[in-house]
Chains A and B, each alone.
Chain A
Amino acid sequence: MGWPLRSAILSGLALLALAAASLLVGVGDLASPEILLASRVPRTLALILAGAGLAVAGVIMQLVAQNRFVEPSTAGTTESATLGMLVITLVAPDAPVVVKMLAATATALAGTALFLRVLRAMPLRARLTVPLVGIMLGGVIGAASTFVAYRTDMLQFLGTWQAGDFSTVLRGRYELLWLAAILAVVAYILADRITIAGLGRDAAVNLGLDYRGVVAVAIAIVAMITAVTIASVGTVPFLGLVVPNLVALAAGDNLRRTLPLVAAAGAGLLLACDVLGRVIRTPYEIPVGTVMGVVGSGLFLVLLLRRDARHA
């Protein structure tokens, strides 16, 4: 038990250090407690909640689709949630953000279910065609969103949901993200079942698991996490892809053991990227979505080359 405990303590400390950095870095005088309470603390909490939630959503998606290259943004989930946000904003512009989030959850669920159905109908499921199908599906749905937004003069709104940015996070405007933490806890309760589903339908049915039920609950969790993040801070690319892969390489996929690690690493990576975006060209900020795009794609490339070397 020595190794897991030590790595848990170490990753906890690293997370604390990053959170402290996030509290301290930025424009504005920390002597005034109001800046800390109204802006820095909410922003740091939002980063931790969104990072942990997105990483958890990514690993669930990868196990359910049995593919390492799948995450909400390569499965049509993100684009579907964005379309839902757009439609509800057009239909009911004054609806509270909870209602918008629920609408986005509904479309995200539908989009993800469509993706899994297309996968099931595919005769040949090579490792790389699965995310390609998801990206194409996402592209089609994204195009529909752009078309609608263009016709209704909503392109600017669309932009805010598509680019993850935490600079506007203030007290009273991020609390919905606690839902992501609750969903991560639900996923932890279901950890054994989700891991068994990741062994494939045959093995899961053999072990007496209600496979369809578990997959349905799992994608509901993924859809809801995606929707709350988009509704509160926008899309963050690569996080759900890179973090689960890194954790799987180091510690495997048995979620009962690794899910806390996935959540902590997701929170840590998002915090690090956001702090980086704040210091690169102070007093200006680079949105975390952009920083994560660069850092995440780099990490992903490293992972890809590594994996291919091993499973040639």
Chain B
Amino acid sequence: MIETQDLTRRYGDTVVVDGVSLRLPERAFVSVIGANGAGKSSVLSMVSRLLPMSAGRALVDGLDVAATPGDVLARRLGILRQDNGVAARVTIRDLVAFGRYPHSKGRLTAADRGHIADALAFLDLEPLADRFLDEVSGGQRQRAYIAMVLAQDTDCILLDEPLNNLDMRHAAAMMGLLRRAVDERGRTIVAVLHDINFASCYSDRIVAMRDGKVVAIGSPEEIVTPEVLRAVYGIDVEVVMVKGYRTVFFYR
């Protein structure tokens, strides 16, 4: 389970994350929404120990992330950030195999190979498994990184804008896969999303941030309303029911 207590991040006098205290549900899909610069990514980065906190604590399964050895956390928490530059030229299969590194330390067992095959199959990557990362499309590469994090077999997965660079079809497919990882595999997924309609249609819980603070947290029914969204984004929107989902119209 992921918990934060008074999590704060400052750069000089600028406060990007301002005393965020959260308890996120387990086996759920949690979306984090908010305008650019609201502090969403910084919260995720601090929980995943990529960014040191200025104050406060973050706990994963009760372990303080600032005090727990990296390899212990790596077996409980998987993270994926947006800027995955491809410098090392490895195959998709090798990349997914590195997801087992926290468990295997480089010596793959039969169980590790099972996890790798399973993750490749789950993301439909078997036909591409022996291609190098720089030989596939951006969407396929994104799927390969997700497969790596799934092979890591952690209860919690944090994703920073997993839909970036994906077209409509691939974005919908990705959300469907992540939803299945929650429903079928019992994972907890926390994702920063910019598309409010994806957040509305797929989430169990939505965390809305503005100016470094959590302004609202609740189910899509509670968050996707004109009032809350005005408080979060500062614009007037129309919420329409489409096929039973709350959908936001804000295009003009």
Contact = CB atoms under 8 A, between A and B. Distances in A.
B101 A252 contact: no
Interface in A190-237: 192, 195-196, 198-203, 205-210
Interface residues of A, number: 27
Nearest to A66: B87
Contacts of A196: 98, 101
Contact of B70 (A195, A210, A256, A311): A210
B85 A206 contact: no
Scoring A66, A207, A252 by chain B CB atoms within 10 A of each residue's CB, the highest score goes to A207
Nearest to B145: A203
Given A200-B85, A311-B134, A252 B70 contact: no
Interface string A237-258: 0000000000011001110100
B80 A195 contact: no
A121 to B, nearest CB: 15
Given A252-B94, A252-B132, A256-B106, A205 B87 contact: no
A68 B86 CA distance: 11
B184 interface: no
Contacts of A56: none
Given A195-B88, A252-B94, A208 B49 contact: no
Contacts of A254: 88, 90-91, 94
A202 B106 contact: no
A45 interface: no
A263 interface: no
Contact of B88 (A63, A210, A256): A63
A4 to B, nearest CB: 13
17 contacts: A62-B87, A63-B88, A192-B106, A195-B88, A196-B98, A196-B101, A199-B98, A200-B83, A200-B84, A200-B85, A201-B50, A208-B72, A208-B74, A208-B101, A254-B88, A254-B90, A254-B91
Given A192-B101, A203-B145, 14 more contacts: A63-B87, A192-B98, A192-B105, A192-B106, A195-B90, A200-B83, A202-B81, A203-B84, A205-B49, A206-B79, A208-B72, A208-B101, A252-B91, A254-B94
